[in-house]
Each structure stands twice: as C-alpha cells, then as structure tokens.
Chain A
Amino acid sequence: VTGQLMIAVPRGTLFEGTLDLLDRLGVNTGEVRSNQRKLLFAEAGIVTMRPSDVPTYVEHGSADIGITGKDVLLEQSQRKVYELLDLGYGRCRMVVAARDGGDPVGEALRRLGRVRVATKYPRIAARHFAETGRQAEVVEVKGSVELAPLTGLVDAIVDLTASGRTLAENQLRVIEEIEVCTARLIANPVAHKLKAERIDALVERIRAR
C-alpha cells in the first residue's frame, strides 16, 4: 500500500493511533504490534522510534515520511521537514501551569523581574515567554516536570497535558494555553519530490478517510 515508502512510526502515546491509521490504510501492522522490541520492519516499510527522533530520521531521509506530535515539531522547529497533514489524533495541549492559589508567575515577575520555568520543551517555553514580553529563566528537566514547582525549584512549568489529571493531582493548575498539539504527517523534502506520487496517494487516502 505504501509502495516502498519507509514510514517512521512513533512509539509511546501516539503508537496505537498511528498503527490504527496504518491498518485502515491497509498496511499490515500485525508484526509491529506483536513485537515490542524489534525496531525495523522492512517488509511493512515501518521503522519505530521515540516521537522526538522522528524528525531526525525524516530530515536525513532515513525515513521518507513520519508521524509525530506537533509538540515535537515546535520544539525542533529548525528541522528541515515538510509538514503535510494534521492527523487529528493524539490531541493534547501545551500549557503553562503553576501552583494552585495565588499568582506565582505574576509575583515572581513583579518582585524579581523574571519567572523561573521548568520544562522538557526549553525552546517552546523560551519562545512563549519571549513572545509575551516576559523574562524567563528556563530550567530543563528530564523527568516529571510537576515536581519542580512543588519543591520550589521554579515558579511555573511548561508541559504537555491531555486530561490535566496529573497536574490536578499535584495541586497545579493551567494558567495559559500555548498550543493545541495533534499528530502530524511529515515528509523528507527530497522524498517529497522524488516519491511524489506515492506520498500524494497516501495523503489522499488519509484525507478521504
């Protein structure tokens, strides 16, 4: 069905939705579903990886097309990949959140002239605060971001949330929405030209779905 196109498929929260989409397009994802450790499925034309690696493989042409979240594309906006389609699933929001009660962000800005922000998305966070004219000190963390404001490390966090449940359980509340993020179909610029027919056929089938 994908006719020799190599597709980068994200493991993690977008994995199921992506395999469901590929199933509907007639790609046989059985082997991918049943084999959690294998990474490359040459016959199905699928290679699986972390969502944040998808733009890397697609930019270099190791995969012709790929699926990843808009959050990843915003964070890696320097990547030279084409964004072809909004696939609609995997919907979540990139937000600024702070401790419930009071106004920790406003308070920090007023008294200290800057707000400290923890995030796994340093570029998105820095861009958002710069665009809204506020000075921010961005602290990059790798693990649970929710911990940072609770321990006094920062005044606020920038993170992705689907239901908001984790935030609520940690006494955090959303104070600003930066962007709604969904799964996107991306393409390598050279593949987009040299394999135009195959890519267009796939895009048309997804659109018609």
Chain B
Amino acid sequence: MTHPIPPGTRDVLPDEMRELRALTDRLRRTFEEAGYGEVYTPVLEYEEVLRRGDYAAAGAAYRLFDEHGEVLALRSDTTIPIARVVATRYREAAPPFRLCYFAHAYRAVDRGVGEPREFLQGGVELIGVPGPEGEAEVVALTVAALDEAGLRRHRVGVGDGSLYRSLLFSLEVPEDRHLPLLECLSRRDLVGLDLGISALGLAKRERELLVRLPELRGGPAVLDRADGPAAEAVEGLRGLHELLAQRGMAERVIFDLGLVRELGYYTGAVFEVYDPAVGFALGGGGRYDELLGRFGRDLPACGIGLDVQRVHLAQAAEERFA
C-alpha cells in the first residue's frame, strides 16, 4: 500500500536535513553580518492583498476560503509579503531597510517531473537604496554568501528587464507587436525572435540591433557593443559595473543584455545566479521600484532570492568537482 504525497513535494530525512540546515545557517550568517535581519511572514495571506503587489505574480496557485469566506492564498514568492511588511510595520521608520528571509513558497507545477510545488527560498531585500548602489550591494552579498556556502565557480547574470521594451519604443515598433517579441525573448527563442523582427520591415541597422542585442552577454565589453539607442539604456549597467569593480566583484558578474525575468514587478536591473555544476539558475531577482508604492510607501528596492535546494545541489556537485 502506498501513501503518496503530491508531485513536487518531498520528505526530508535527517542526513539531508542536516546539510540543508548547515547551508541555510551559513547563508543566514553572511546576510546577518551584512546587516540584513531575518523576518518571517505568514505562509497564508489574503489573496486580495498579494494582488495589490502584482496582479500576475500574486496569481498564487493555491487558494482556499477561510471560515468567513475570505480568499486566502499560499504565497508564491517572498518579495511581495516583505514589501507589505515594510509598508505597514515600518511606516514611520527611516530607510534603508535591510531584510533577509528563509521561507517556503508555493507554485503550480506544469509537469510532473522534478519541478517543485513547494520550495525553500533564501534571500535578501534592500529597500530604500536606489540603483546602481542597491544592486551592487545585493549582488556582492549574494556572491559572498555562496562563497561561504562552499561554491567556487558561481556567477551572477545581470541585465535590464526594461531594456528591450524601451528599445522597441525608441525604434517606434508598433505597440501591438511588442508582446509576441518579448515572449520570444523571455523564452530565448532566437529563431522566432528573428522571424518576428524581420516581419517588422525595419532598416537593416535597426533590425540587426534588435536581433543581436539578446546575444550580447559576457564581461563589461558587451556594454560597449550596445550601440545606437541601446547605448543609453546600458548606462545604468555601466554604473553597476564600476561599483562592483570597486568591490573586487567584477569578475563574478556576467552582463546579459537579453536577460528578462518572468515576474512582472521588476522595473530595471534583473539578476540570475548560475553555477556551472547545475544546468539551471540557482535563483534570481532584480529591482522593483514600484512595488512598495503600491502598499503605500514609495521606496526604491531590489533583492535576490536563492532556491536553497538548488544551491545544495550545486554545493554537492562542487564538492565532487574540487
């Protein structure tokens, strides 16, 4: 007789739990020492409140009614609840706020294999510090925390989530064509993107710019290769590079001009964390300057969340590699 648990959930037994605990302890210590105090928010929130943060991102997969008929939702990320906390509990306090969290979040699984329905996120939010200083601090802290966790070859991919869209505007691409192009870009279907762009009937130079921009990734030299209307758009990333270079972190960052993140609340810089031992991103984040304002306290903010399970995978693989 089997007693199944839902696909995408798992039991953790002592050996693994000990390792996970040691990993989160190391990450937490690095965050705390950098001045990021740990917070905890409820797993269940009012769906209506989450939706104030971001309509799409708060489209939590699991909802239920409470005893009064109110709709509750299982949180699908931690950034929106923390924005709510800062706007309500620190209403009068002076920014900046440095907070970290280790919390489970819940998302629907598209397919049975491997994708977690419940996953442990550990991350930081820096609220009240504008770009690029905020990004530099958060990226550097993420790299340091993963160093502390025993990873050696990890990199943070940095892009600008609004770059491509603003490029489309500046080249006067009709607005109804934006969405299909941005969808191709988000999947990195470069063949589809090329087809879509070719159908716009742009001049060769503009066409080339739109086709080639998503392929630009690597060291700071890629920022120089963004020319024309794109040159201005990468200025923010250039500033970030300078700040990271001052922290000795320039080598740990990959500029990626095609990077977009799926969550809707990002307004500028976006991040993804990679390690060569694992074929998928260990986490990600970005700048969300409008989210706090939706909860009534207008502050710039950015953050990164790591999928602890995936960091653990990378940690184990790095041990074998070393």
Tell me the bound Cα distance from A191 to B277 in angstroms.
Answer: 10
How many of chain B's residues have a CB under 8 angstroms from any CB in A?
A: 23
Task: Specify which of A84, A190, A200 is in contact with B279 (CB 8 Å cutoff).
Answer: A190
Chain B residues with Cβ below 8 Å from A192 are 188, 217
Q: Is B140 an interface residue (CB 8 A)?
A: no
Chain A residues with Cβ below 8 Å from B192 are 83
Q: Is A209 an interface residue (CB 8 A)?
A: no
Tell me the bound Cα distance from A93 to B18 in angstroms.
Answer: 53
* A59, A80, A85, A194: residue with the most chain B Cβ atoms closer than 10 Å: A194
Q: How far is the CB of A60 from chain B (nearest CB, A)?
A: 5
Chain A residues with Cβ below 8 Å from B187 are 82-83
Q: Is B265 an interface residue (CB 8 A)?
A: no
Q: Say yes or no: A86 contacts B191, CB within 8 Å.
A: yes
Q: How far is the CB of A42 from chain B (nearest CB, A)?
A: 17
Please judge, given known A-B contacts A83-B191, A83-B192, A200-B215, whether A193 and B256 are in contact too, CB under 8 Å.
yes
Tell me the bound Cα distance from A200 to B274 in angstroms.
Answer: 19
How many of chain A's residues have a CB under 8 angstroms from any CB in B?
A: 23
Task: Specify which of B111, B215, B274 is in contact with A190 (CB 8 Å cutoff).
Answer: B274
Tell me the bound Cα distance from A83 to B214 in angstroms.
Answer: 12
Chain B residues with Cβ below 8 Å from A78 are 110-111
Q: Say yes or no: B276 contacts A190, CB within 8 Å.
A: yes
Q: Is B280 an interface residue (CB 8 A)?
A: yes
Chain A residues with Cβ below 8 Å from B215 are 200, 203
What residue in chain A is nearest B155 (Cβ atoms)? A194
Q: Is B157 an interface residue (CB 8 A)?
A: yes
Does more than half of chain B's interface fall in helix, strand or loop, or is it mixed?
Answer: mixed
Task: Specify which of B190, B191, B218, B279 is in contact with A62 (CB 8 Å cutoff).
Answer: B279
Q: Say yes or no: A83 contacts B279, CB within 8 Å.
A: no
Tell me the bound Cα distance from A184 to B195 in angstroms.
Answer: 14
Task: Specify which of B189, B218, B276, B281 is in contact with A196 (CB 8 Å cutoff).
Answer: B218
Tell me the bound Cα distance from A169 to B157 in angstroms.
Answer: 54
Please judge, given known A-B contacts A193-B157, A196-B254, whether A60 and B279 are in contact too, CB under 8 Å.
yes
What residue in chain B is nearest A190 (Cβ atoms)? B274
Please judge, given known A-B contacts A190-B279, A193-B157, A196-B218, whether A184 and B188 are in contact too, CB under 8 Å.
no
What residue in chain B is nearest A70 (Cβ atoms)? B191
Q: How far is the CB of B97 from chain A (nearest CB, A)?
A: 31
State which residues 167-213 of B face A: CB under 8 Å. 187-192
Chain B residues with Cβ below 8 Å from A191 are 279
Q: Say yes or no: A83 contacts B189, CB within 8 Å.
A: yes
Q: How far is the CB of B2 from chain A (nearest CB, A)?
A: 26
Q: Say yes or no: A82 contacts B281, CB within 8 Å.
A: no
Q: Is B278 an interface residue (CB 8 A)?
A: yes
Tell me the bound Cα distance from A42 to B217 in angstroms.
Answer: 28
Render A115-149 as a binary contact track against B, CB cut-off 8 A, 1 for contact.
00000000000000000000000000000000000
Chain B residues with Cβ below 8 Å from A61 are 278-280
Q: Say yes or no: B281 contacts A189, CB within 8 Å.
A: yes
Q: Say yes or no: B217 contacts A196, CB within 8 Å.
A: yes
What residue in chain B is nearest A76 (Cβ atoms)? B111
Render B145-169 as a binary contact track against A, CB cut-off 8 A, 1 for contact.
0000000000101000000000000
Task: Specify which of B190, B217, B256 is in contact with A85 (CB 8 Å cutoff).
Answer: B190
Task: Specify which of A60, A80, A84, A189 is in contact with B191 (CB 8 Å cutoff).
Answer: A84
Q: Say yes or no: B254 contacts A84, CB within 8 Å.
A: no
Tell me the bound Cα distance from A196 to B281 in angstroms.
Answer: 15
Q: Say yes or no: B276 contacts A194, CB within 8 Å.
A: yes
* 3 A-B pairs with the lowest CB-CB distances in the bound complex, closest first: A61-B279, A82-B188, A83-B189
**What are 9 A-B residue pairs whose CB atoms fall within 8 Å in the complex?**
A61-B279, A82-B188, A83-B190, A83-B192, A85-B191, A190-B278, A193-B272, A194-B254, A196-B218
